[in-house]
Amino acid sequence: MVYYTFGNHFCIPVSGKILTFQNRINLLHQRFKMKNMRKYLLVLVILFQYITCSNKEENIADEFDVQFELPALIDITQGGEYVFTVKNGKAPSSSDSFILESDAGISFVCPIISTSSESFTVRLASECKSGYHKVFIKRDTRKKPFGGTHITIVENIGFEPDEGTTIYGIVSSGDGAGVGNVVVSDGVEVTVTNGDGIYQLKSAKQQGHVFISIPGGYEVPSSGVLPQFFYKLKGAPNVVERVDFTLRKVNNQDSYKVFMLGDMHLANRTDDARQFTEFTTDLTAYMDRHRGEKMYAIALGDMTWDLYWYSNNYSFPQYLNDVNSQLKDLQIFHVMGNHDNDFQGTSDFTAEIKYRDQIAPTYYSFNIGKVHYVVMDNIDCSEYDGTTSRKYKKIISEEQLKWLEKDLSYVEKSTPIVVAMHAQVFYPIAGGFKYDYDVINTEKLFDALAGYEAHFVTGHTHMTFNVRPGDAIVGDRNFYEHNTGAVCASWWWSGHLTPGVHVSLDGTPGGYAVWNVSGTNLKWKYKATGWPEDYQFRSYDLNNVRFSMADVPLMPSNVPDATRRVYEQYVDAYPANNSNEVLINIWNWNRNWILTVVDQDGNNLVPQEVWAYDPLHIAALSVKRFNQPNLTSTPSFVTQKFTHFFKVKANDADTDLVITVQDEFGNRWTENMERPKVFSIDEYKRK
């Protein structure tokens, strides 16, 4: 038998197995048949040595007994002192060391400066930073763990919160001075800071965060593109938690730009990464042309696509990595879209967890200059069942409406309100608009905004339309809706199938809106990705636009009738003809715009507003999606008939036209249309 020596002990190897005490006795009994006492005693000696050395665990941590209360949160000044309550009289020795170990594995030795049977006091190591730390007490070579706590390094503000307060803190400027009258909220309760910049909330911590409504003339620090106006709470509902915010004073903020970024739908598919780079390159170039101006952005939801979070490994971390690496010096406030909810959730709250943890609160407010911005979540996922069914409703919760009333109580009626939401409030119909939303809570939302100039900025449709005061749907209210085109256009499909043609279902080019704000004066314009700023409409000579079943030879003969009829609508809309009609698509149109068409002889042609299918979208996307040999149903994202189209009729096929479009701000865009005008995908590709 071969023996192994550990220290001064002999250990008996048994085929590498770890045996219980009884098994070891049985094994030795079987291996050694005792013939005399001497041999038996020898075995006992060997057995004792084996038990002593085999599988021994040194458990020195329990060899000294210290007991104390360790709170989940500790607010402490840099290098300050903290008093811990001793339990059962089991205090540490003054010669012990109190050790904090950060998540990065860095240990900070904090001396125990006094101790008694009731409490002991620790001085925080000056190098320690805010964050979660494991706690140990070390005595000579022995180190005993006691759990963990979240350390927050704070300034001493000489303030004792009222009884019942669970969140308090100070909002200060860069010079350390407190900022008064800053609105602070937990999503339920709303308060303001006092003259010293101090606030307190009796919060149940339902939403798990606290946020400030950034005051005009200030900015907050950023984490990449994310402005840090909110803080994720760490403590239980009954734990008093201190949360401080820092503001930076900025000058000349009354004039600035806001980029309204509609649906991005990044999902690691349909060549979206390359196409997204084209968008960020375009936006960066625009920002470079306007250096020296203040610029901000609001993402209107559906930055990601929940269906592909798991299958394509693309969700918020990947989105943030892409946007942070491609866009610099731009704060983006985010709105939650339906596809930013986790389809594996089983309630509205659980579907929102990843968004709240990694992006922002689902509703909040902020000010830029003299305009008050409100972000709201109008996607209700209460009926989610953990599957891809994703049965959501377009509605604003009662909880948000109550919060909004409190938030607006601090906003003067003369202040314009911009309400950013994902889903549209209205929707175009023949002759006007309808509510496309929960009517009861929509009216409650309107009541909360009564007396304000209110602009709803929305996405979701991947199309473009505008509602203005005076439109029948808003009555005498001073309300607008700006349903903004999508960054991804047709979920990146048109540019994937036809590179260079990036258009939405209604023909709106993929892009973003640029709002120019001066004081309380708001102006807006749509910017198409990869096109000059004056690209505001598109014209088609319908003599040369035609579609037929011959364009889709691969469509199966047994395709369902309903699917065939969808494609036949395009054929019926654009048959071969020589009617001398011209179709004009003005995607950002509203009823205060002016369209004039003059022919080469100086005659004014009268435009007729029509609903139409955009021919370019049909050619670049729909034809290619229907022309598939394995087609079994109507493809997604195909062309839809929509508003903002106009027709004029020329005298003949050779009559040239001058088309002029003017928006409500006096901007004019003109095309000298030489006819016949060829209809070709190449003619409409980005130059």
Residue 596's Cβ-count burial label (10 Å; 0-12, 13-18, 19+) is middle
CB distance 264 to 97 below 8 Å: no
Q: What CA–CA distance (Å, rounded) separates 174 from 211?
A: 18
What are the C-alpha distances in Å from 513 to residues 186, 339, 440? 31, 21, 30
- Dig out the tokens for 112 from the structure: 């125990």
What pLDDT is stored for residue 176 in this prediction?
81
What is the predicted pLDDT for the residue at 687? 62
How far, in Å, are 83, 120, 283, 496 from residue 69 at the CA level? 10, 11, 54, 60
Per-run averaged pLDDT (10 residues), the chain, 687 residues: 36 42 48 46 44 43 80 91 94 94 93 94 93 94 92 90 96 91 98 97 96 98 97 92 96 96 98 97 98 97 97 97 98 98 96 97 98 98 94 95 98 98 97 91 96 98 97 95 98 97 98 98 98 97 97 97 97 96 98 97 97 98 98 97 98 97 98 97 82
Q: Based on C-alpha coordinates, what's the Rg of the chain?
A: 34
Q: Where in the chain is the domain with CATH 2.60.40.10?
A: 61-153
Amino acid at 506: D
676 prior amide bond cis, ω within 30: yes
Per-residue model confidence (pLDDT) at position 54: 43
Write the single-letter amino acid at 259.
F
Give the closest residue to 371 by CA, choosing from 209, 521, 159: 521
Neighbouring CB atoms inside 10 A of 384's CB total 21
What is the predicted pLDDT for the residue at 70? 94
| Residue limits of CATH 2.60.40.1120 in the chain | 167-246
pLDDT in the model for residue 63: 62
CATH architecture of 61-153: Sandwich (2.60)
Q: Which CATH number describes the domain made up of 252-528?
A: 3.60.21.10
Q: Measured between alpha carbons, how far apart are the two ends of the chain, in Å?
A: 85
Looking at residue 685, its pLDDT comes to 85
- Residues carrying CATH 3.60.21.10, the chain: 252-528
| One-letter identity of residue 358 | Q
pLDDT given at position 664: 97
Beta strand pairing call for 479-483 and 511-518:
unpaired
Architecture of domain 167-246 in this structure: Sandwich (2.60)
> What is the structure's pLDDT at 348?
96
| Cβ neighbours of 236 (radius 10 Å) | 11
Query: What span, in angstroms and rounded, lies between the C-alpha atoms of 465 and 468?
Result: 10
Reading the block at residue 223, the tokens are 């984490």
